[in-house]
Amino acid sequence: MNAVTLRPLRDGDFDAVFALESDVMGADMIALLPRVPGDRAGFELHWQRIRGDASVVARVIEADGVFAGYAISFPLNGERQIGYWVERELWGRGIAGVALRLLLAELPERPLWARVARSNVASRRVLEREGFGMVATERVLAPRRGMVVDELVLRLD
């Protein structure tokens, strides 16, 4: 079991975040990801906006002190959302679960919200393990993939 910690995202992390988000298999798990894996200009635009937004809580996940992904919280239409992404070679070791628990401990606000493609069984499991419950299902357009998918809306009270 890796020792999982969170720390603030720094400018020096962006090459690692870009490499992480360039993994098509990971990107395909996120229904609404508007960025194209490997598109550095789109990536820069998105993350520059995030870096300038004081309402966003962005954390690097470290496993045994090494970059392992990120966990993030941001407001969307008046609801505080959470999300995370873990390096593919580290999946299945409980890293997302611990990272989510640590992020939840940093966030005083409740309820918190998460949106997960129905096909993303791993992420749904991670959320439900930490107490999120499903409140709705929506049909949404996955923009990059050009297909309509079921997205689950989950809430932690």
Number of residues that bind ligand COA (CB under 6 A): 21
Identified binder of ligand COA from the candidate list 63, 116, 152, 154, rule CB under 6 A: 116
**Residues 6 or more apart whose Cβ sits within 8 Å of residue 27:** 21, 33, 35, 37, 144
**Residue position matching structure tokens 């299902």:** 137
Minimum Å distance from CB 125 to ligand COA? 4
> Counting contacts by CB under 6 A, is residue 102 touching ligand COA?
no
Dist. CA 93–CA 60, nearest whole Å:
17
> Counting contacts by CB under 6 A, is residue 83 touching ligand COA?
yes
Minimum Å distance from CB 88 to ligand COA? 7
> Counting contacts by CB under 6 A, is residue 93 touching ligand COA?
yes
Whether 68 and 2 have beta carbons less than 8 Å apart is answered as yes
Sign of CA dihedral 117, 149, 136, 59: positive
Query: In the structure encoding, which two tokens stand for residue 8, read together?
Result: 């603030």
| Binding segment toward ligand COA, per CB under 6 A, in 50-58, 114-122, 139-147, 149-157 | 114-122
Q: Where do contacts with ligand COA occur on this chain (CB under 6 A)?
A: 26, 29-30, 83-86, 91-97, 116, 120-123, 125-126
